[in-house]
Structure 1
């Protein structure tokens, strides 16, 4: 016999290729699927707010500033600007531990839109975190040192700039310790269940940016940070994308430091110069990527218009040369 929870589920989810209870009151979905619904279903919001119904769009981890997240923000801002009647039935919540002011400014400038901004009154951690600068020290030497002084179940999380570095350091640590010290890789391509298994059974981890916010380490005691990050940068003149290692932004460093101090005191070991010049926030991906796929998606959507139109709704619009390069390439391909 079907119970009321089965007939009226509270929450459902949807990811690429799989979904469950999509008619539930609360639906969790990826930023990519939210973008697709906003782009290719012109009645997406209207269908959800028929009668007295209202809808809340909760967009989390906005600080990542991926192309999908920025497009979601732009499409939501466009709806609220061009369809004022939606403002009474649509509530948008934007959440992030750190956030560039360009994002709230995007919505603040929409006429007659009720706008509220809440900031945490303090940023102290529950437990004390000691910050230790160790510029130019070898990351494997530091990890082995921490292994010797840690308690049995203390976890060590190391941030490096690339997937290649993640696997390389895991292998090198295994060889240096003759198989006694085992490190686990954490990268974006792993499934959530695989990442969770690593965290449950491991104590030493090498990770890219994936561990900055989306993963929880119950016994984390040490963070070792190289202070760098790999970014893909597109050159519209050369028509090629290169991977470049750059200093992580101040907000990224803050995210990494913030992994500590939640369940017990911790130590943050910075393998970089404290005086190194950094951006306050990471540069949005839409401002440094090849935009041909974005331009193509916008043109075949119900908007029937490209970035030249949508850019005014982006928190940080890309340079005209990036948009022009995408348009020229599409025209060359006959799209």
Structure 2
């Protein structure tokens, strides 16, 4: 164990011993330091040897990881005097050649490769072709022949598949086999509890590297993953089921052989070279408007077009242009010719990073127009840590608000913050409060949301312009909804059931059909109430299997009078009007 005196850590909203010699940061915080901290490392940095930056899990190729790699490459290229003061260690189970190539192209920078020897001898792993087997049939077969403590891990494409397979297996076996899902939205404590008491698991990519199984004997691999991909033509992110790359299959197989001999069952049967060797970097298939804005608002004052030369893999020009177009549509950037931030863009650039520009616009409107700044800051804190709306099912009915999911989440946060503000900080215990308030099932989410809130609250307390505005609280849904509409104006739906007896909502400005997420407090049938006639959603999720239907997630009820409509019409001028025009 590392001595606590020399080590420290920092995550969003929480930190410990951050002046220690050994500091652990999330990739997101490291990116923010590289973008905005002039003193992270300079020619005046006084060190006996070197500052070592260790970047782990690089094979995941997340946007933050790629940006960190690019920011280090930029730093080394533009400030060669720092080469003697810093070292960058890139750690990865598998590594695409584009990353070492990036650093080899930096003049005068030395690159070396190390293969870490295994600290213990690995047991043998047997490969089995199971392409003609059905997943649940194979699980039952292996379960029947396993030794008492042997564990079975099944990799599937999505969180929904993991949950559904657990339910199906329980139903088929009439409860004889209990399976557990392992998915991203769970807390680390819950995941570890499942692993300690369970035998059969269905998991997404979360179990490829970060979880430890004490008695893993079998891995069953569907060879599939669900990947969010931004569709340029439709201007939306879709969840696509794709074949997992070879490096991912290697990671999954590598879970075996650590505590005993293992058996790997492949439910796929590929032709040679059918799969990609490595995953496509997320920065090459994602919406880039937040990246573009982060670069422009940072101390670098650069654009993605100029910055991409430092990326290991560059996104296509269409993705970069799309980010600029979106900034214009949001009213944050002037025309392509000047590519400068508008007054609104410059004002929003002064705010802390809320993770998305629509939320930043909503918070700014709450601060400046609708006198509900504190409400939006609190609401954004919990929304920023939620990728799915499944948490809503775990919130007791007494906290659910008729206005919808936004006010429900805000009420939960306010209940916790009221206790937090009423007692000395050393006496505040999140777990105890959640247990007393009936919120134990969502305590892991509340902890992360409180960390995020603490970070935002600290940032606003240092702002002369926004400090007082950030303390204004209204708990008025109309004001909060109007602020949200400033950022999410393209994500509202009109319900057609009452007038046309249809079963869906229609998204604004399109003929698309949408349904409200089953987890939503506005889902019809909960209390026999009539469905909302007009709603706003944070997320509009599209299922590629049913392209004509989308799902509205995190939903709030609106009144038509809260919407502002701007119409443009082209009229043919008459002769008199033409003369006036001239």
When the two structures are superposed, what TM-score results if normalisation uses the length of structure 2? 0.55
Measured after TM superposition, the shift of residue 136 of structure 1 is: 4.0
Which consecutive unaligned segments of at least 5 residues does structure 1 have? none
CA distance in 2, matches of 1:306, 1:207: 38
Measured after TM superposition, the shift of residue 50 of structure 1 is: 2.4
CA RMSD of aligned residues (A): 1.9
User: 1 or 2 for the larger relative contact order (CA 8 Å, sep ≥6)?
Assistant: 1
Per-residue Cα deviation, 1:42-97 (whole angstroms, up to 9, x for no partner): 22123993253631110011000010110010001111111111110101000111
**What does residue 112 of structure 2 align with?**
116
Measured after TM superposition, the shift of residue 125 of structure 1 is: 6.9
**What does residue 198 of structure 2 align with?**
202
SS in 2 for 1:72: helix
Answer whether contact 1:212 1:256 (CA < 8 A) is retained.
Answer: yes
Measured after TM superposition, the shift of residue 16 of structure 1 is: 1.8
SS in 2 for 1:44: coil
Answer whether contact 2:43 2:82 (CA < 8 A) is retained.
Answer: no
The match for 1:311 among 308, 312, 319 is 308
**What does residue 248 of structure 1 align with?**
244
CA distance in 2, matches of 1:121, 1:54: 25
CA distance in 2, matches of 1:311, 1:197: 43
**What does residue 49 of structure 1 align with?**
45
**More displaced, 268-277 or 242-251?**
268-277
Distance 1:244 1:125, change over 3 A: farther
**What does residue 322 of structure 1 align with?**
319
Matches within 5 A, 1:34-73: 34-46=30-42, 49-52=45-48, 54-73=50-69
Matched, 1:281 2:278: yes
The match for 2:77 among 76, 81, 86 is 81
CA distance in 2, matches of 1:69, 1:51: 26
Per-residue Cα deviation, 1:29-53 (whole angstroms, up to 9, x for no partner): 1111111111121221239932536
Which consecutive unaligned segments of at least 5 residues does structure 2 have? 333-582
When the two structures are superposed, what TM-score results if normalisation uses the length of structure 1? 0.93
The match for 2:331 among 323, 328, 334 is 334
Answer whether contact 1:233 1:244 (CA < 8 A) is retained.
Answer: yes
Distance 1:158 1:87, change over 3 A: same
CA distance in 2, matches of 1:89, 1:118: 21
SS in 1 for 2:226: strand
CA distance in 2, matches of 1:27, 1:47: 21
Distance 1:223 1:310, change over 3 A: same
Matches within 5 A, 1:1-335: 9-46=5-42, 49-52=45-48, 54-119=50-115, 126-275=122-271, 277-335=274-332
Answer whether contact 1:80 1:87 (CA < 8 A) is retained.
Answer: yes
The number of aligned residues is 328
